[in-house]
Chains A and B, each alone.
Chain A
């Protein structure tokens, strides 16, 4: 956009108008550029380089090449088991949260009374700190005195060893994720509300059933949001560590010791920075590959409106 008076004004420094605008443009965004350098790009490059070193407790560094990476897969008590735990957690948790968020959005988008209040209440758990909700679950999932087992005992006459049994704990923590879907639900709701009503009216005239409308109109329309939510939820689950720290502390017998937890302890408990950096790059590559895979499949199920004509 150009405006006539600006062209007439001569500037003092002898720079052209466009050059001056560009200069002030860079000035406006310079804080973020600096941040990108100092707190994102710089650190990532630095972390990649130290992943080729053995560097413990801020003592002298020794170059070890790709030893850190090789060791993770060949000579490491926790790396591989915890990576598998993370993968199985992500494989369960991502579709689990995505489907719950979508179902909630569909329910709360219907023309019922009180959906406004219900939306707020469903989002509510998402405003709590992981430290709060974590200890909350730990308290409620207590085998003998917890309120959840009180309900299961009264209703079904069973007591479930939620967090005590090693092969149960992981699943219990995964279940708690149902209450953390507030943000994805809001995004789904926004997408649902953006669907033009004519489509449904036309379908009604043709006598389409509810199920048919869901699969032929609703889901295709919100597919871009589904894709976005899918990727965001998945990345978050790969990094998920707070519930494991607070609810089980990685136990019982390391059964909930996920990769992000192992990485956290390698870095901040044992201060093996080289090894920890290599771990963060292992997980980053896995996240990248998974994201690329999802994006590659999206061609078959996500259509953007602009592509249609």
Chain B
């Protein structure tokens, strides 16, 4: 084999330098959160900034828990996430099966409407939804964050439908001939095969619910019921404006879960996102 000539080596090295720079830029904010969180209140404001933390202290975390009961807020976020994920995933899979396997009048049109709803801006529906949820007394509860998801999410329905379309129809057929009803076919045959798609959907919904900031801001009005994301916004200090030691420690605990989940499930998540761009 021919050895690469000088120009090739040269452009290669430049590309590696650019790639390294990109990696540093994109990870720096998270590195900064993590190091400032364990830097203690003094190291946090040290100038020049401690690029490698010199003082290590857990003081920021102690004040975070004492001032804002962060453990409780993590629990709140977890509760919202679990119920959101259950509803969003379960219902979306059922609806997706209907779109993928059943024949009924108007299916094409309804499916196009479904694709269209993915484009509806959030602020087009948030005001009337707020009025509705306030009218039925759900203001201050977690229901507005969870219940809409139990009726299915268009994006997930689309993703799971695409996945089901790739499963051979003969499997359904064989089960139906054996006397299974459609719903049994769905739960016994299809759901076990859906694992990769469902994992992607579960992660997406986890990230959405865990990171949601605007909906909790609108609906939650008692400090005790705040989610982590919302609590981060309300860490004020009378002098500095923001209570930075707690914000950093809080960002650390709020970020660590999504970051870990992402690293362990990258493949499925990325696969799911890549699918979402392929509209048939």
Interface string of A117-138 (1 = CB under 8 A from B): 1111111110111111101111
Query: Are A125 and B121 in contact (CB-based, < 8 A)?
Result: no
Given A24-B102, A187-B274, does the pair A284, B114 have CB atoms closer than 8 Å?
A: no
Query: Are A124 and B95 in contact (CB-based, < 8 A)?
Result: no
Q: Number of B interface residues, CB 8 Å? A: 96
Given A47-B124, A139-B244, does the pair A118, B129 have CB atoms closer than 8 Å?
A: no
CA distance A59 to B126 in the complex (A): 19
Q: Which of A63-71, A72-80, A212-220, A272-280 contacts B (4 or more CB under 8 A)?
A: A272-280
B9 at the interface (CB under 8 A from A): no
Closest B residue by C-beta to A132: B251
CA distance A144 to B33 in the complex (A): 18
CA distance A220 to B242 in the complex (A): 48
Query: Are A132 and B255 in contact (CB-based, < 8 A)?
Result: yes
Query: Are A25 and B107 in contact (CB-based, < 8 A)?
Result: yes
A92 at the interface (CB under 8 A from B): no
**Which of A25, A147, A225 is the one whose CB lies under 8 Å from B98?**
A25
B132 at the interface (CB under 8 A from A): yes
Query: Are A39 and B125 in contact (CB-based, < 8 A)?
Result: yes
List residues of chain B with CB within 8 A of the CB of A231.
119
For residues 12 through 48 of chain A, which have their beta carbon under 8 Å from a beta carbon of chain B? Answer: 18, 21-29, 31-36, 38-40, 42-44, 46-47
B176 at the interface (CB under 8 A from A): yes
**Which of A132, A241, A268 is the one whose CB lies under 8 Å from B229?**
A132
B254 at the interface (CB under 8 A from A): yes
Tell me, rounded to whole Å, the shortest Cβ–Cβ distance linking A285 to chain B: 11
Query: Are A179 and B273 in contact (CB-based, < 8 A)?
Result: no
Query: Are A28 and B121 in contact (CB-based, < 8 A)?
Result: no
Q: Decide if the interface of chain B is mainly helix, strand, loop or mixed.
A: helix
Tell me, rounded to whole Å, the shortest Cβ–Cβ distance linking B244 to chain A: 6
CA distance A267 to B47 in the complex (A): 42
A183 at the interface (CB under 8 A from B): yes
Query: Are B242 and A122 in contact (CB-based, < 8 A)?
Result: no
Query: Are A44 and B169 in contact (CB-based, < 8 A)?
Result: no
Given A6-B176, A228-B277, does the pair A18, B103 have CB atoms closer than 8 Å?
A: yes
List residues of chain B with CB within 8 A of the CB of A164.
none
Query: Are A135 and B277 in contact (CB-based, < 8 A)?
Result: no
List residues of chain B with CB within 8 A of the CB of A211.
none
Q: Decide if the interface of chain A is mainly helix, strand, loop or mixed.
A: helix
CA distance A36 to B8 in the complex (A): 55
Query: Are A130 and B26 in contact (CB-based, < 8 A)?
Result: no
Given A132-B33, A239-B123, does the pair A39, B270 have CB atoms closer than 8 Å?
A: no
Closest B residue by C-beta to A281: B124
List residues of chain B with CB within 8 A of the CB of A130.
211, 213, 229
For residues 211 through 248 of chain B, which have their beta carbon under 8 Å from a beta carbon of chain A? Answer: 211-214, 217-218, 228-230, 232-233, 242, 244, 247-248
Query: Are B30 and A124 in contact (CB-based, < 8 A)?
Result: yes
B108 at the interface (CB under 8 A from A): no
Given A22-B102, A284-B121, does the pair A125, B157 have CB atoms closer than 8 Å?
A: no
Q: Interface centre among A118, A132, A137, A291, by most B CB within 10 Å?
A: A132
Query: Are A34 and B26 in contact (CB-based, < 8 A)?
Result: no
Query: Are A239 and B121 in contact (CB-based, < 8 A)?
Result: yes
B145 at the interface (CB under 8 A from A): no
Query: Are A263 and B110 in contact (CB-based, < 8 A)?
Result: no
Query: Are B277 and A131 in contact (CB-based, < 8 A)?
Result: no
Query: Are A260 and B32 in contact (CB-based, < 8 A)?
Result: no
**Which of B19, B51, B214, B228 is the one whose CB lies under 8 Å from A108?**
B19
Closest B residue by C-beta to A231: B119
For residues 155 through 171 of chain B, which have their beta carbon under 8 Å from a beta carbon of chain A? Answer: 157, 169
CA distance A287 to B122 in the complex (A): 12
Shortest beta-carbon contacts, A-B, top 8: A28-B98, A35-B151, A25-B102, A43-B128, A129-B211, A25-B104, A190-B274, A22-B104
Q: List 28 A-B contacts (CB under 8 A).
A: A5-B177, A18-B103, A21-B103, A23-B104, A25-B103, A32-B92, A36-B113, A43-B132, A107-B19, A112-B12, A117-B23, A128-B29, A128-B258, A129-B210, A129-B211, A131-B254, A133-B29, A137-B29, A139-B32, A139-B244, A139-B247, A147-B51, A179-B25, A190-B274, A190-B277, A229-B277, A239-B123, A284-B124
Tell me the A residues contacting B by CB distance below 8 Å.
1, 3, 5-6, 18, 21-29, 31-36, 38-40, 42-44, 46-47, 50, 58, 104, 107-108, 110, 112, 114-115, 117-125, 127-133, 135-140, 144-145, 147, 150, 179, 183, 186-187, 189-191, 225, 228-229, 231, 235, 238-239, 241-242, 245-246, 260, 263-264, 267-268, 273, 276-277, 280-281, 283-284, 287, 291
